[in-house]
Amino acid sequence: MAIFRPEEEAKVRELLDALERPVELVVAHGPEETPLPGARDIDFGAETEKIVEGLAALSENVSYRVEDRPPGIALFPAVLVLPEGKDRGIRYHGLPWGYELASLIGAVVEAGKRESSLSAESVERLGALERELAIDVFVTPT
């Protein structure tokens, strides 16, 4: 199944060409699917894996593997985005389709940068943080 239309694929490939370091994606399927009402025909985990596989096919710097239940993950399916194979707490929970595919691609692009694209002031403020900060952003695909 093609994930992108040809013109989209060219654009995504261009974005991924800018990666300065390898990014590994981990697809976590989790335990047995709990079907959503009205969505029983969709295997969210399998669809997520197809999307991630499609992204990895577009760049030598993007790889992926599948893990059933990585430690600390409670919502499935999930995609973990690991810059240079290191877990920096970057996740996407659910099927990254529609508008939200851009979020996953954005995560990969940012993870592939050696320098933060935040302002120096922001980086400094985050560097001074003395507590753990878990930011959850609830999104919808449309």
The footprint of another protein (CB under 8 A) covers 36, 44, 75, 81, 83, 88-96, 100, 103-104, 106-107, 110-111, 113, 116-119, 121-123, 125-127, 129-141
Q: CA nearest 142: which of 96, 73, 90?
A: 96
Locate tokens 């050696």: which residue? 114
**Minimum CB–partner distance for residue 57 and another protein (Å):** 22
CB of 94 to another protein, least distance (A): 3
Nearer to another protein, 85 or 106 (CB): 106
Do β-strands 23-28 and 62-67 pair in parallel, antiparallel, or remain unpaired? parallel
**How far, in Å, CA of 60 to CA of 38, rounded?**
38
| Residue 91: both structure tokens together | 């996740």
Shortest Cβ distance from residue 48 to another protein (Å)? 10
- In the complex with another protein, the residue whose CB is nearer, 6 or 51, is 51
Between CA 93 and CA 138 the distance in angstroms is: 10
Distance CA 78, CA 92 (A): 6
Q: How far is the CB of 99 from another protein (least distance, A)?
A: 10
Report the residue number, 60 or 84, with the smaller CB distance to another protein.
84
CA atoms within 13 A on the CB side of 96: 29
Give whichever of 2 and 120 is closer to another protein, judged by the CB atom. Answer: 120
